Every structure is written in C-alpha cells, then in structure tokens.
Amino acid sequence: MFIRKAALVSLPVAVALLAAGCGGGGGASPSADNSNGAVSIYETEPQNPLTPGNTVEAGGIKAIDELWAGLVGYDPDTAKPYNLMADSITSSDAKVYDIKIKQGWKFHDGTTVKAKNFVDAWNYVAYGPNAQLNADFFSQIQGFSDVHPDDTKAQPTAKTMSGLKVLGDYEFQVTLNAPFSVFPTKIGYEGFDPMPDSFFADPAGFAKKPIGNGPMKFVSQTANQDIKLTRFDGYQGQDAVHFKDLDLKIYSDLDTAYSDLQSGQLDFMELMPPAALVGDKYKTDLQGRNLDAGLIDIDALAVPYYVPGYNNLDLRKAISLAIDRDTIIKQVLNNAYTPATSFFSAHLDGNTPGSCAYCKFDPTQAKALFAKSGFTGKLTIASNSDGGHKEAMTAICNSISKTLGVPCDFVPQASFGQFRSLITSKQATGMVRSDWGADYPSIEDFLNPIFKTGSSSNDSVYSNPQVDALLTQADSTADKDGAIKLYQQAEKLIEADLPKIPLWNEKGTGGYSSRLSAAKLSWKRQADVSSFRLASSS
Amino acid sequence: MGRYVLRRLLQLIPVFLGTTFIIYTLVWAIPVDPFAGKCGQRPCPPAYVAAMRAKFNLDDNLFVQYVKYLGRLFTGDFGQTFAGADVSTLIANAYPVTIRLALVALVVEAVVGMTAGVLTGLRKNGFADNLVLVATLMLISLPVFVTGYILRGLFGTPRGTSFFDLIVPGVVLGSLSMAYVARLTRTSIAENRRADFVRTAIAKGLPTGRVVGVHLLRNSVIPVVTFLGTDLGALMGGAIVTEGVFNIRGIGGLVFTNIQQQQGVVVTGVVTLLVLVYLLMSLIVDLLYAVLDPRIRYE
C-alpha cells in the first residue's frame, strides 16, 4: 500500500524535473528554478492599505505574505516556526530577547534590511496616532502604554517604545513588560514585518506601491480587480517561488472562481464553494488536484455569563453533551470539519485529544445534568446567518432540543458586524457562535485572547483568577515544554468551568488547476506559494 | 427645443440633491457600526476606530456629514474607501467595463430582437412567428442566472474586458430584454401594417423594402425606442447577477460589495453617478421621439 502510493507520487515529480531541464538541485535552492510562467490565485478585495501593520484580513494578508518576510516563518505542513530573516533569537529569562538578523537581505528597492528597519516599523505600528490595526500585538513590549495610551483622546508621552533597542546594524534587543515564552513564535505574525526607510517619509504613498523584503515584489494593484506581483530575484529565504508572475485575481463569487479553476483560468483556491463539497464532488471535479490543510482553528459556542440563567455549570455541560457533533458534521457540514475534543486545534503542540470530557454526544448524562441544573425557559444561539452559519446553528439547536426537550431557537443577525457588536456591547441574550483562527501557531493563542479576564475575544466574559494566574505563569516560563504543561493545566481548569463549548475544527480544503503540478495549502488557509510548481505543458 | 432641453437639465439639480441626500442618509443610517466586525473575532483597536471615524466625519450629525461630503464632491473629490483607494479610481476602473457590457447587451437586444419582431410581425402565425413566440417565452421565464450559468459552463468566464470578450455575458444580460423587444416590435408592426399610410405607400408602387424599412418600421419603433432607452439606463447601473456569474468587475458588483461593507462614500458616489446617467438617458429618449415622429414638438 505504502509503496504503491509512493510510486504514484514520484511520477509527476519526475515529469516536473524533466521539464525543468533536470535542474539537479531539486526544489530547495531558488537558483535551480528556471520557470518563467505565471500563476493566478483566488483573491478577495483587501480591506486596508497594503502594509503589514494595517492588515488583518485574508484578502490583504495574501499579498502581504508574498511581499514581506518576517523574522520567523512557519512550516506549511507542520506550522512549526523556523528562523526566516532572524539569524538567532535568544533569551535567558523570556523577558529580554536578543534578536540577530541575517546579513545580505535586501528590500525590493535595493536597500539593505537592517535591525533598525524592524525597530522603526514596530514603533510606527504601535504609535497610537498612526491608528494601525495591528497595534495591540505590541502591547507586551515595554513602553507600549507610553506610545499608545488606552484613552484615544490622550496624547502619547513618547514616540518610541523604551523596550526596543538597536544594538548594531544586524542586532536589536526587545524588552517585554513581563516574561512571555511564546514571543519567538508570535513575531512571525505579519504585523512584525520590517519596513524600508522610504515608508516612513510617506506612508500613504507607500501603500500604493509597497516595497517589502519578501519573495515577490509589487507590480500593480487595480482596485477591485487584481494585484500583480513578480518574483524578487534577490530573495534569500528558503520560501522562494518557482515561477515568475503571480496574479491575485479578485472574485466576488466563489462558484465562478471554482469554474475558472476547473477550466484552468485560475490556478489556486484555498477554499471550495459549498456546492462542490457536497458528496466530495470537488475530488472528482479536480481529478485529484484537491488539497487538505491542517487549519489551526476552533469553532465553539460561547455561553455569556451575564445572560440570566446561563451562569449554570450543569446547564453548560448538559448542552455540550447534547450536541451530536458527528451527525451534524456529516449531514449539514459536508464532512468539512472534525469534532472538537479539546479547546485547541489538533495540529498544535500541546494539544491532548479528548481533553474536553464534555465534548461528546451522551444523551443520558446530558438529560441527568439538565434535570440537575433546574433551568427553565428557552435556549437561543445567535450568529450571522450567512456563510452557512444558519444551517449549522439550527442543527445544533435541533440536536439540543431533541436531547434535552428544551426549546432552542437560532437568532439570526443580519451581518457579521451586527453580530459582533452584539457581543462586544454585551447585549447577547443567549449563546453566541464564537469561532477562532490562530494568529500564530501556539496553544497560547487559544487561551490568552479567549479565556483570560478582560481579553479581546473573551466572548463569554469568563473570569477565573486561577486560570489567569496559570496563564501568566506559563507566559513567563522560558522553557517551552514547561510552558506547555502550564498551559495544559489552565486548559484543565477551563474544561471544568466550560465557559465555551467546543464544537469542531475545520479541516480546510482547497484545489489547484491542471496548470500546476504541485501546490500546498497552509494552516492559515492560504496558498503556500513557494510549493507551486508549473506543470510541464505550460 | 433648446428651452425644453435647458428646462430638463435644470430639473436635474433638485433631483441630484435629493437622491444623494437620501442615499447618503440610508447608507450611514444602517444601525450597525461599520467597524464592529472589521477585525474578525477581535474588536478593532480604539485608536484605529477613532481615526477612521474622524476621517469619515462619522461623529458629526448626519446633515453636517452630508454637506461636508457634498462640498468635497463639488471639488471633484469622490472621497476614499476604508482601504484608502480613491472612489474616483474605482469608478474609472469599473465604469468602462459596465458601459461596454451594456452596449453589447443593447446591440444584441436591438438587432436580434427587432429583426425577429419585424420578421414575425410581417408574417403572423407562420412557422417563424410560432418559433419566436416559444423562444421568447422560454427566455422570459428563465431567470438570468440560469442562462448565465449555462453559458458560463459552455464558454467559461471572459479573459478580458474588450467588446469581443463581453459578447457571451452581453447575450446573457440582453436575453430577457431581447425577448421583450421582439414581442413589442412584432405587435407594433402587425398593427401598423394595416394602417392607411402603409396602404398608400404600397398603392404608390413603392418597393417592399422601402415600405417596410422607412414607412412601417419608423412609425412602429417608438415604443421599442422607449423600452431600449430606459433599458440602457438600467443596464448602465450594472448587472449584479451577470457580473457576478462571469466575474466582470463592473459597477453592479462594486455597489453590491460596498453596501455589504457599509462603505457609504463608495455607494453614494457610484449611485449618484447612476442617477445622473439614468436621467440623461431618459432625456435622450424623449428627444429621439421628435426625430422619429416630426409631429411631436417640445416647447
């Protein structure tokens, strides 16, 4: 079985090597590729100017990730961080980090990437009046509150963070407010990318023709149509691309993009339209050119503590045990998900499958707990109804009311914005859909933003001083394995309180056209463009 | 004639002010903060929200906002999107495409529709008449996206935005109106065939081509021109469905996505332009009547 699989795989590889004129070096070194073809990938209109500090959504991130290279990159298969632009990141106490960067790297305008480009960029993004969307990612650095006061009307007392120090052309030092062991993983996030000197003179003009240090350089952006990039031949990183031109083609309709993918007018999509998922139709449509990703995310139901009657542990346990996750995934969600058995994604270091004891379907126990809870009245789940959420949430409600005999209603919200303002203004009247996708691959990113008292995405308004203390302790543990153990202890406490009911993890399915012979889909639900190989015929 | 045109043009001013105010109010009056869901599961940083609200004058009352917007509009500044792109650039990118698509659709419906209408109107109840009746009935009963999906399956999406590339989407977009045009022309021709002036023309011994082409068609075409004119106005407003099915980056899709994102500046800018286009189109149609029928005078 294994041998047959391997033989099948080796055939296209052999063809690709022949096509590349037997370059010899394989795919590893950027100089070995001599392909000058063009590739197009599915894109949505970026919502913000194309700068890393101000980009938070998928449409912009796709371009940013090719235009820029950060200190740390993530392996597309395992999501493990590796040093990309960083030469070394060292710390003895997880509080003061000494970062050395590789020499000889250039921005697309020919200037050298120096330590100062990182420090200046970070200071710019963090500075309050610059109003950058990723400012909060720097809140752990010493001096952040001086440049970014909580009160938007207050004037910052400093222009630069005291925790950032340039030690030389290729070395700088970062001092945090408190120890944070996941910092070396976190700085692979786009907001931490360096900026060339030309950016600071005219940020608005720069965003119209961005200059990065990544594998591809900017050619043009036509609003609402496409973004064109081309290979940067001076790129030093291991994720160089093996084709020349990249066209990020903007589509407003997923089905249209899919039909273009089938006809070869579009080369890559990181998600499939719902119609193609039914009965795994996409697998036959694409003749094996479909991709699975290990997306790092979790979908859950938050049970806000402020809703009268819901601050009831037995009720939360009963609800979780009453949801038939397997059947809903099979019948409503086209098998695009796997049932969640923990509070993390299955693809993360430190995840223990089954660590959530109540994340299973057990009608008997559910009924017993529900009787014990003494809850009377009606359960509700609120969510925006687009994107297939209505169907999924209704199915959950049906499962709950069938098992517990309690009425359960789906409360539709007109838009995602309306739905989120319901949560941030603490006006929910029942459970709310609460999904989470990782900013960077670490279990820390599944705990601190969601379960810590007062944190940004704590939709349940959950607060447990013991959890807070454990998380702080884990953050300050320099030893990676030791930190993971502490995070897992925090997860145990969270499991006992069950402020959020884990539902499922999305698998992530994508596909590529026959013009490509190889492609990968990363954990971010994004094309790993460096894995693209053009098929021999094109 | 000149005074009539001037009066019609002056009427545009109050209509322009009224529509822009209504559209502006409606878009910004949606009771949801446009920045509530913009940063995903996290709320946007307060500093960002404050800066954006200041940039788009969202903290002023609606009337002051509108006046500020209008003031900039008169200096030719359509404003910017949240992403910092100029709305004028967005319109300049999308509008030529929509105009080309609308013209292709108009040519399709005018040429095919009128030809079919003349042929069937002249030979009522013949084979061609029945064939066209059934065919138009089918086109009218099919929603545009069905025709769109079928033709996209056969021909794929357009590779560019030239007139040639837009033929297939143009046929889809024009198909419904084409059916109406065929039926309108047919009825009109059939009625006028028995009119006195046609009988006179035939009695004078004029060749059939001249009787049909000049006497009959010219007098029968007035309702059709009215229809085509208003239809072009509607087509200029973009075709959300057709543009979506064929991924044509035109005006329809632009308005649609920006309503969803509550980008009021874009929606108001584009829709204002559309209102003007629509008004001008109906003016042109009214003037065409006088050209077609000298008895109609505007004073």
Which pLDDT score is estimated for B299?
61
- Vertex A215, ends A209 and A221: CA angle to 5°? 30
**Strand ranges in A271-388 using DSSP code E only, listed in sequence order:** 290-292, 297-302, 337-339, 379-384
pLDDT at B54 over 90: no
Question: Is the distance from CB of A48 to CB of B82 less than 8 angstroms?
Answer: yes
Nearest CA in chain B to A424: B43
Is the model more confident about B140 or about B264? B140
Task: Note whether B241 contacts A: Cβ–Cβ < 8 A.
Answer: no
Q: Which residues of A touch B153 (CB under 8 A)?
A: 259
Q: What is the pLDDT of residues B3-27, one digit of tens each?
A: 888 888 888 888 888 888 888 888 7
Closest CA to A488 of A342, A313, A316, A339: A342
Residue segments in chain A with a per-residue pLDDT below the cut of 70: 1-34, 537-538
Among A138-142, B55-59, B72-76, B203-207, the range of highest mean pLDDT: A138-142
Look at A129 and B45 and tell me if their CB atoms are within 8 Å.
no
Nearest 5°: CA angle at A421, between A420 and A425? 125
Measured between alpha carbons, how far is A118 from B214 in angstroms, rounded to an integer? 76
Residues of chain A positioned with their CB less than 8 A from the CB of B32: 414-415, 417-418, 421
A49, A133, A420: residue with CB nearest B37: A420
Q: Do B40 and A56 touch (CB under 8 A)?
A: yes
Residue reference for tokens 């650095």? A141
What are the E-state strand segments in A255-395?
Answer: 268-269, 290-292, 297-302, 337-339, 379-384
Closest-CA distance, A260 to chain B, in angstroms, reads 7
Between CA B111 and CA B133 the distance in angstroms is 17
Residue A406, pLDDT score: 94
Q: What does the pLDDT read at residue A15?
A: 36
In whole angstroms, give the CA distance from residue A179 to residue A473: 9
**Across-strand partners of A432?**
A302, A382
Which residues in A lie closer than 8 A to residue B27 (C-beta atoms)?
none
Please give the pLDDT value at position A240: 93
> Cβ–Cβ of A133/B45 closer than 8 Å?
yes
Residues of A in contact with B90 (CB under 8 A): 223-224
Q: Which two tokens stand for residue A4?
A: 């047959």
- Tell me the pairing of strands A379-384 and A408-413: parallel
Which residues of B are less than 8 Å from A259 in CB distance? 152-153, 156-157
Q: Cβ neighbours of residue A209 under 8 Å, at least 6 residues apart?
A: A218
C-alpha B106/C-alpha B112 separation (Å) is 10
Res A17: pLDDT: 36
- From residue A307, give the alpha-carbon distance in Å to each of A312, A417, A430, A459, B253: 10, 21, 6, 12, 40
Q: How many pairs of residues across A and B have Cβ atoms under 8 Å apart?
A: 129
pLDDT for position A248: 96
Q: How many CA atoms lie within 13 A of B83 on its CB side?
A: 26
**pLDDT at site A21:** 35
Q: Which residues in chain B (80-109) have CB-CB distances under 8 A to chain A?
A: 81-85, 89-90, 93-94
Closest partner residue to B93 (CB to CB) among A148, A153, A225 is A225
**For position A26, what pLDDT does the model report?**
36
Of A49, A263, A417, Cβ closest to residue B34: A417
In whole angstroms, how far apart are CA A273 and each of A265, A298, A432, A453, B153? 17, 20, 25, 38, 16
Q: H-helix or E-strand containing A248?
A: strand A245-250
Task: Give the helix, strand, coil percentages of chain A, each rounded to 5.
Answer: 35, 20, 45
Q: Which residue of B30, B249, B254 to mutate against A (max A Cβ within 10 Å)?
A: B249
Q: CB B156 to CB A419 under 8 A?
A: no
Q: Is the pLDDT of residue B83 over 90?
A: no
Let me know: does A445 contact A348? Beta carbons within 8 Å. Answer: no
Q: Where do we find the tokens 């109010």? A: B25
B183-203 mean pLDDT: 90
pLDDT band per the 50, 70, 90 thresholds, residue B257: confident
A256 vs B36, B51, B244: nearest CB: B244
Q: Residue B21's closest CA among B70, B60, B54?
A: B70
With CB atoms and an 8 Å threshold, state whether B47 touches A437.
Answer: no
How large a percentage of chain B has pLDDT more than 70?
99
ipTM of the complex: 0.81
pLDDT band at residue B229 under the 50/70/90 scheme: confident
Kindly give, in sequence order, each residue whose CB lies less than 8 Å from that of residue B54, ignoring residues fewer than 6 positions away.
none
